Amino acid sequence: MARYIPPEQNKAGQILDIAVVVVAIFVALWLPLKLGLAGAAKSIDPLDAKTWDALGQNATMASIWEKLGYTPETAHDIIQNRFHYIIDWPTLIIMAIVLIAYFVFLFRASDKEYREVINEKFEDK
């Protein structure tokens, strides 16, 4: 029985594969930030009375803030900068469809290549 020798990819193909992967990683990390789908909190919950108590800070916390050079007025934006977790259903559904489509493609392509290898190796049996 002949030993299976897999096809070899040329250097240009390898470089193209690397470039595509690097661009895909960059886009996957950058695009959600650019579209405003990820990142820091979007809004600050304002308070009328800017005191340590109104900001929910106890005496120990207030003393640490003051050691860092903050007053209730200057610490207000930092403390009240909250993450608002809101599920964007259309985006979530689109993401799920894209992931499912990718995995269906991946499994079909893998199955096709697997069958080709088996046929090459055991075609005459």
Q: What is the biggest distance separating any 2 CA atoms in the chain, rounded to whole angstroms?
A: 84
What is the pLDDT at residue 80?
84
User: Would 3 be classed as within a structural domain?
Assistant: no
Q: Are 91 and 124 part of one and the same domain?
A: yes
User: Would 72 be classed as within a structural domain?
Assistant: yes
Q: Are 22 and 51 part of one and the same domain?
A: no
Q: Are 35 and 51 part of one and the same domain?
A: no
Tell me which residue range forms the domain holding 64: 46-86
Q: Are 50 and 79 part of one and the same domain?
A: yes
What is the pLDDT at residue 3?
72
Cα distance between residue 83 and residue 67, in whole Å: 26
What is the pLDDT at residue 90?
93
What is the pLDDT at residue 39?
61
43: helix, strand or coil: strand
Question: Dihedral, CA atoms, 104, 107, 110, 116, nearest 10 degrees?
Answer: -90
**pLDDT profile of the chain (125 residues), mean per 10:** 78 96 95 76 76 92 95 89 80 95 95 86 72
Q: Are 91 and 125 part of one and the same domain?
A: yes
User: Would 13 be classed as within a structural domain?
Assistant: yes
Structurally, the chain folds into a number of domains equal to: 3
Q: Are 103 and 116 part of one and the same domain?
A: yes
Q: Are 92 and 114 part of one and the same domain?
A: yes
Q: Are 82 and 93 part of one and the same domain?
A: no
For residue 73, the Cα-to-chain-centroid distance in whole angstroms is 34
